[in-house]
Amino acid sequence: MSKIFLFDALREAIDEEMERDNSVCVLGEDVGHYGGSYKVTKDLHNKYGDIRILDTPIAENSFMGMAIGAAMTGLRPIVEGMNMSFLLLAFNQISNNAGMLRYTSGGNFKIPLVIRGPGGVGKQLGAEHSQRLEAYFQAIPGLKIVACSTPYNAKGLLKSAIRDDNPVILFEHVLLYNLQYDIPEHEYFVPLDKAEIVRVGSDITILTYSRMRYHVLQASDVLVKDGYDPEIIDLISLKPIDIDSIADSLKKTNYLLIVEECMKTGGIAAEIIAQVNDNYFDFLDAPIVRLSSQDIPTPYNGNLEKATVVQPQKIVETVQQLLY
């Protein structure tokens, strides 16, 4: 085992896959000589050259289209969005091309494309740099969507995504890059369609993903001291949702709380609630509760920004009310 930062775990995944397969390449703004805004591609251009680690102009729609064309013709591009909110400028390419071409071509083209980069509410980054786009992309057919939360699953997910023949969006959180944990020194992969049981419990199922994993774990420490026994699941896969793991947990606990940084209206929690109510309503002893971000542009002011996001104390209070 070796202790590693999350951004270095992502870098290791890219390096290993580029060394193994000459068709793997990276493109995006400042990914080359600068090494990426969060240093995920640091020094890789020295090893692989300026073509395989390609700096692009500030033109997301253009280089996303180029990456999709490259994927159609045999390459395995990794597109880094300097900030995931900027990829809204490439929404047409991602939805109408990346998500659909394998289907509209009758299977004649594969789209082995990875789209990755930082998102989420950071530290006073303002509304346009604090976007959570997972719900935007969830409705697009043909895409796989995952969200990493630890150095371990960051590396394993990225390696799996690079080898997949379908377009995969990997959401990274801007505040998790400096997380440092042990990961195996041997090669490993994390599946793109499975949730992780973070804590086994019997009283209530708490679903979460990305940065909110750590808010839930903080709340869990308090809840356990108070005699509660929560089961915590990190979704990891946002499309498809691992509904089987959720159902197995609900058979034990019969209570469900969903904690997300996504906005409440049309968020990931909304889709989970619909699926559970459609298929596993009889497992529930109480209505499902979701704790989501406020449906407003994220304020720049630090105190207001904090108030828009679910905090650990709110999770504690909600569990206590549900199980009272």
Domains of the chain: 2-183 (3.40.50.970), 196-322 (3.40.50.920)
pLDDT (mean) for 34-57: 95
Task: Inform me whether the pLDDT recorded for 202 exceeds 90.
Answer: yes
Mean pLDDT of 65-70: 97
Catalytically active residues are: 60, 129
Task: Identify the band that residue 2 occupies on the pLDDT scale cut at 50, 70 and 90.
Answer: confident
What is the model's pLDDT at position 253? 98
Both tokens of 167, joined, read: 């377009």
Cα–chain center distance at 284:
27
Cα-to-chain-centroid distance, residue 109: 26
- Rounded-to-integer distance, Cα 12 and Cα 18, Å: 10
Q: Is the pLDDT reported for residue 27 higher than 90?
A: yes
Question: Is the per-residue pLDDT at 127 higher than 90?
Answer: no
Return d(Cα 34, Cα 68) in angstroms, integer: 24
DSSP string, 247-311: HHHHHHH--EEEEEEEESTT-HHHHHHHHHHHH-GGG-SS--EEEEE-SSPPPSSHHHHHHHS--
**Taking 90 as the threshold, does the pLDDT of residue 1 lie above it?**
no
Instruction: For residues 18 and 113, give the distance between their C-alpha atoms in angstroms, rounded to a whole number.
Output: 14
